[in-house]
Amino acid sequence: MEGLRHRARRLACVLIHGVALVTGAAFAQGPSSAPASPSPAASGAEAPFSALVGRWVRPDGGYQITIRSVDVRGKLDAGYANPNPLPFQTAEAVRDGATLKLFFELRAGGYNGSTYKLAYDPVSDQLKGVYFQAVAKQQFDVVFVRSK
């Protein structure tokens, strides 16, 4: 039994690592009704979110978030892999002053209700924040680095 607990703690540590907690405004919990792609006339408004597009990897376990696009309202066309693909129920970005904040919710594969609340750090080109593992009811600091 102790060995199983040790493995569970180790897995939790692998799932977790990080550097910063996201503070500030709450994130929307429900899915957005915004279209997946901006109209050509709105593409200039998309610029604040354009830095988010790309593949992001958590160095502590190889988990990946791929952001394919962001519409003008902050709805993300994004996917998650751990290592197998899992769909996001919700994937959104908001601008809070000069900060870009992201919210992701998983509803599949034993992750039901697990969330990422991240903020984009333009200096380090990283996504930093908190992962809430709903099954274990635990929060962990996490960081994602851009995959080159």
Per-residue pLDDT tens for 53-77? 999 999 998 899 999 999 989 999 9
The CATH architecture annotation of domain 2-28+37-146 reads Beta Barrel (2.40)
Quick check: 110 and 3 in contact, CB under 8 A? Answer: no
pTM of the model: 0.69
So where are the chain's domains?
Answer: 2-28+37-146
Per-residue pLDDT tens for 25-53? 333 333 343 334 433 333 344 567 999 99
